Chains A and B, each alone.
Chain A
Amino acid sequence: MPDGSQVEYDKTVYHPVRGENGTALDIEKFSLWYSEKQALFENSLVVERGLVTALIGPSGCGKSTLLRSINRMNDLIDGLRIGGQMKIDGRDIYGPGIDVIALRKRMGMVFQKPNPFPMTIFENVIYPLRVDGVTDKTMLEETVERSLRGSALWDEAKDRLHESALGMSGGQQQRLCIARAIAGDPEVLLMDEPCSALDPIATSRIEELIDELAGHYTIVIVTHNMQQAARVSQNTAFMYLGRLIEYGATETMFTTPKAERTQAYITGRFG
């Protein structure tokens, strides 16, 4: 595929809502191999800036793989190969000369299982700033308050900032991880099934939070819960066996899906 060429989209299965701020991520014919096994097959989609994009599909279809390709978390894996392109602001994420660390600083990531560090709540939140070598105390304190307010954890955590983060409940820990992800002021938030380890009440809190964050960040969220996708996202991508089947406005996807497989999946005939 020649560089910079536009992917031709099949309009019948490609009908996303367009945001007002242009595109954040441009994924073009992106393929990925784990050693011999191909996990992604020429996926193409455009993530709109400032919107919430959900990735859905049966487990093992490559949602996490695609998400982790965006901030190059997959670099840790031996024998990984990729094909196609993935661009942020027009720059190839996998291009030569790209600074992976700088790239990751533009993105926050929230994992399936809450993974707070074994430190105090305060230190957890400012970890991205510590990494950058920030020592200004007021700056650190303001960041902690802003991030914890941003992740709706401030009221619960403000009196125990200097206690270990491991003493919090699972839902609180996940919100702490969100606070940590937004502390570095990223453009894109990547969330890999952020609620799958949480109880329903914690889940609905996180969903509300995603709604609040939506205006400020471009969010890509992987979920296997279709109601969740319907509740929080504007655009939804349905993947199946490593291929993008349909990408469109969430409302349309869940009411009148265009592709047959999408229909089968969301009506619960398989998955």
Chain B
Amino acid sequence: MTAVNIDTAASTGKAKSSVYRRAHAADLSAVGEPFQWVLGGALAMGCVLIAGLLLLVFWNGLVTFWPKPIEVVRLTDGAMVAGEPFRTESFRVTADQLAKVPADKRAAIATDDGFADRTLYRTGNYDIYNDDFRWVPDYEVASVERPADMVYVERLEWGPLIGRIKSAIVNGTAVPADRLTPAGLAAAHDAARARWAQIQHIERDLIGDVNHTIEKARLRVRSVELSSGADSPAYRAAQQRFSDENVKLQERFQALTKQAQALRAEDAKDTVTFAEIGGKEKAVNLSAVVRFFQPNELSIFGKIGVYLGRWWEFLSTEPREANTEGGILPAIFGTVAMTLLLVIFVAPFGVITALYLREYAKQGRLVAVVRISVNNLAGVPSIVYGVFGLGFFAYIVGGSIDQVFFPERLPSPTFGTGGLFWAALTLALLTVPVVIVATEEALAAVPRSMREGSLACGASKWQTIRRIVLPRAMPGIMTGIILAMARGAGEVAPLMLVGVVKLAPELPIDGYFPYIHLERSFMHLGFHIYDVGFQSRNSEAGKPMVFVTTLLLILLIVVMNAAAIYIRNRLRRQFAGSQF
């Protein structure tokens, strides 16, 4: 008992006084505020978890592109392995393996309870060995070296190649031996890459242009056929025009193809032959080499150069090799475009709904039911929205749009399948409860005296809402929109049903009328993470890319949120008057 008992009558057990006497000392629970520690501890725990998550993602994401050394390992059986040491772990040696281990090493393993260490090497050369990685147990290693002349080659196809430069042919003539290094071949490499870019330009942009024109002409004919019938004179005239046009286009197509073929023939004259550590040789077109360098010899500046070059490639190019290599520009673009579109849909829709609910609807049971339903919408699993988006938006609404506006393109769907527009609309539906709830709260927080002041000045209800209520509620509304945006940008599951694809052939914005193609399917960072990490041929190679892409997704969401918060704060300052 901590209480100081001053009622002696009570303490001696005599008749108890009915007057309550407070103890003249603080109760234990009032000292030191014990709950403060519990509450603070919970907060600290949350912070540690978030910091740990960010640290993990940032660290793994940031080191991925840093060039690692190449080790050449001589095994006890005389075989050679060359590769980047990827990671080391300890493993239990099986009886079969143990049987092949020399006696002295077997004793060492036995003292470790049957465990030994092994290292995972990224050996590359997938086209030769059908594997990118190889485990090397420590007990098999005879010696490890880092020879300076080992070259790491990033290729357009087949992933990295690790080996030595054996010979090279530039423009049909052999390169002298003293220039058989990445530095010595740099000029030829640059020229080959420039030529490669030119081939790409011809084959994708110019020939793509021709194909686009042909397709448009074909659609014109088809729509004439649909409107006036297959044996009408109008149709025959259109057909005639089409074949005239087609002749010209085919000519241009042939010319472009010839041009590209000439360049390719030129290109085939520049090759470099690599010898990998096992003695096999591989000739590669110089233009198919994205980047090659000697990592064991690289200075710190050289390493930084490679590092930045890889980042730039990552951010500015399209993916290749089933998304495990190349860049993620289309995914960044798709994520940003979808998020912006989502905001464009969700903001007016949510705000108008909340305005009606709070300001105009009669506050009765019906409104209460609607409000509860809206709140509960936020708890519906997101994939359900995906199903709804696909079934309703894409198939029903989109299908009808196709019937009415794009009949000439059928049976291939235009709006009748998943796409950017439907994806953004689906996510808008998913996030609209957030905006409605936030807006309603912000509206309710506008003091009654403000509304009365405005009405007393002869303002109508709408004028009061527009001039007084909405500006005051705007920061709260913006907060809701920001929350909705953050939620929508990170959502993946519903998108897989309504328009996100592994590899989108075209961006939703390009140079062809009407320039913005909201019906197109698109790529998304969230889905890209899933795809690279778990759907690619080699998940070990994809793992670092998972972290880099995650890092990018986080950064992107942070940047978009920061921009929105900046806008909100400017609005707040603007509406609150200038001098606060």
Taking beta carbons and an 8 Å cutoff, which residues of A are in contact with B? 71, 73, 76, 78, 101-102, 104-105, 107-109, 111, 113, 115-120, 127-128, 130-132, 162-167, 177, 180-181, 184
A118:B449 contact, CB within 8 angstroms:
no
A164:B452 contact, CB within 8 angstroms:
no
- Counting chain B residues whose Cβ lies within 8 A of the other chain, the interface size class is 20 to 34
B457:A127 contact, CB within 8 angstroms:
yes
Contacts A111-B453, A113-B449 given; does A164 touch B576 at CB 8 Å: yes
B459: which A residues are within 8 A, CB to CB?
101, 127-128, 131
A118:B471 contact, CB within 8 angstroms:
yes
For B460, the closest partner residue in chain A by CB is A101
For B576, the closest partner residue in chain A by CB is A118
Contact residue among A105, A108, A117 (Cβ-Cβ distance under 8 Å from B454): A117
Contacts A162-B578, A163-B578, A164-B578 given; does A118 touch B472 at CB 8 Å: yes
Instruction: State A181–B458 Cα separation when bound (angstroms).
Output: 10
A119:B458 contact, CB within 8 angstroms:
no
A78: which B residues are within 8 A, CB to CB?
363
A118: which B residues are within 8 A, CB to CB?
471-472, 575-577
Q: Mark B563-580, 1 if CB is under 8 A from A, else 0.
A: 000000000000111111
A131:B452 contact, CB within 8 angstroms:
no
Indicate whether B467 reaches chain A with its CB closer than 8 angstroms. Answer: yes
B458:A115 contact, CB within 8 angstroms:
no
Instruction: State A184–B455 Cα separation when bound (angstroms).
Output: 13
Taking beta carbons and an 8 Å cutoff, which residues of B are in contact with A? 363, 447, 449-460, 463, 467-468, 471-472, 575-580
A76: which B residues are within 8 A, CB to CB?
451-452, 455
Which 4 pairs of residues, A with B, have the shortest CB-CB distance? A164-B577, A105-B458, A109-B456, A115-B449
Distance (whole angstroms) from the CB of A211 to the closest CB of chain B:
23
Instruction: State A78–B467 Cα separation when bound (angstroms).
Output: 24
Instruction: State A165–B577 Cα separation when bound (angstroms).
Output: 8
B458: which A residues are within 8 A, CB to CB?
101-102, 104-105, 128, 131-132, 184
B457:A166 contact, CB within 8 angstroms:
no
A166: which B residues are within 8 A, CB to CB?
576-577, 580
Which one of B447, B456, B579 has the highest number of Cβ atoms from chain A below 10 Å of its Cβ?
B456
Instruction: State A111–B452 Cα separation when bound (angstroms).
Output: 9
A177:B453 contact, CB within 8 angstroms:
yes
Distance (whole angstroms) from the CB of B459 to the closest CB of chain A:
4
B363: which A residues are within 8 A, CB to CB?
78
Which one of A111, A118, A162, A167 has the highest number of Cβ atoms from chain B below 10 Å of its Cβ?
A118
B454: which A residues are within 8 A, CB to CB?
117, 127, 131
A116: which B residues are within 8 A, CB to CB?
453
A132: which B residues are within 8 A, CB to CB?
458
A117:B455 contact, CB within 8 angstroms:
no
B471:A130 contact, CB within 8 angstroms:
no
Distance (whole angstroms) from the CB of A121 to the closest CB of chain B:
9
A-B contact pairs, 16 of them (CB 8 A): A73-B456, A101-B460, A104-B455, A104-B456, A107-B456, A115-B453, A119-B575, A120-B577, A127-B454, A128-B459, A131-B459, A131-B463, A164-B578, A164-B579, A166-B576, A181-B457
Instruction: State A128–B579 Cα separation when bound (angstroms).
Output: 24
B580:A164 contact, CB within 8 angstroms:
yes
Instruction: State A90–B14 Cα separation when bound (angstroms).
Output: 81
